[in-house]
Amino acid sequence: MSECEFRVSPVSPVVGAEISGVDLSEPLSPETVSGLRQALLDHGVIFFRDQDLTPARQMALGEYFGEVAEYPFVRGLDDYPLVIPILKLAAETRNFGGIWHSDTAYLPEPPMGTVLHAKDLPPAGGDTLFANMYAAYDALSGGMKEMLTPLRALNSAAKQSVSDTRQHRIDEAGKDTSNVTTESVHPVIRTHPETGRKTLYVNRAHTVRFDGMTEAESAPLLSFLFDHQIREEFTCRFVWSPGAVAFWDNRCTQHYPVNDYHGHKRLLHRITLKGEVPS
């Protein structure tokens, strides 16, 4: 399949595109992989419908775009330990990662991307919102950009607001993280390694404070940035359907899984792709 044989349909003016005409359960040609990667770079997140992916095929899909990474906190599937179940049971009230974030920004080398595949969905709800961090950066004033450019920020896995969302899964399938770095300092303004564009690289779930400042000193500016980066005009909303796939670029987007389906089970399978030290 060549690049011209699939269709890219933007779902909002600023982030997200739906891809049609690609069967991800089949081997992909180099031309298709190249075209999908360009669509990802152009739109930040790409969506596919009605995909019949086994864990093996999801792994194979990820490997077209990079090396599949290990998630530090929760064990994966028995036969595919790098495939992580993103699960909320009917009796639970917290959903995994239920806060605006970029995946595992607390690692020294955060993932470049994430591939999520819908397995079991509630009858309604459970959508995911995405936000474009290029747009968030571009909309800042010149003075704010100048002030933020030299700053670095501490990102931690231990912020209570996000650690609470993973507790159910850690209780049932947690891993020993004693040898894992779960705090890292990264630039507040990051340069995307492939596009060269500037992106606002802080997030409400993981960013604790600016490097060299206290949490109290950092809080007012961080609060402004957290609110600014999820303004409606920077976002899109993805309504999941059986077999749907979302593949997002963690270097220039954030996402938020909406927790509006209490009393119903929701299960998706996730892989993340290794990234690089942000610069």
pLDDT at 74: 82
Of the candidates 103, 169, 190, 251, the residue annotated as catalytic is 103
pLDDT at 2: 42
Q: Has 37 been annotated as catalytic?
A: no
pLDDT at 159: 75
Q: Has 255 been annotated as catalytic?
A: yes
pLDDT at 96: 82
Average pLDDT of the chain is 92
Kind of pairing, strands 45-48 and 17-20? parallel
The residue to which tokens 């606002």 are assigned? 200
Query: What pLDDT digit, counting tens, does each position of 71-94 carry?
Result: 887 889 999 999 999 999 999 988
The pTM assigned to this predicted structure is 0.92
The residues facing 130 across adjacent strands are 236, 255
CATH topology of domain 3-273: Double-stranded beta-helix (3.60.130)
Question: Is the pLDDT assigned to residue 167 strictly greater than 70?
Answer: no
Of the candidates 169, 190, 269, 270, the residue annotated as catalytic is 270
d(CA 110, CA 96): 18
Q: Has 270 been annotated as catalytic?
A: yes
Please give the average per-residue pLDDT across 167-171, as a whole number.
56
d(CA 274, CA 253): 16
Helices (H), 55-210: 55-63, 133-138, 142-148, 160-163, 167-173
Residue 184: name the closest of 251, 272, 277, 113 by CA: 277
d(CA 68, CA 60): 9
Of the candidates 37, 255, 266, 269, the residue annotated as catalytic is 255
For residue 174 the two structure tokens come to 């947690």
Break the chain into its structural domains and give their ranges.
3-273
Of the candidates 101, 204, 266, 269, the residue annotated as catalytic is 101
Residue 175's pLDDT band, with cuts at 50, 70 and 90, is: very low
Residue 99: name the closest of 21, 159, 16 by CA: 159
> CB within 8 A of 170, min separation 6: which ones?
73, 74
Q: Has 42 been annotated as catalytic?
A: no
Question: Is the pLDDT assigned to residue 17 strictly greater than 70?
Answer: yes
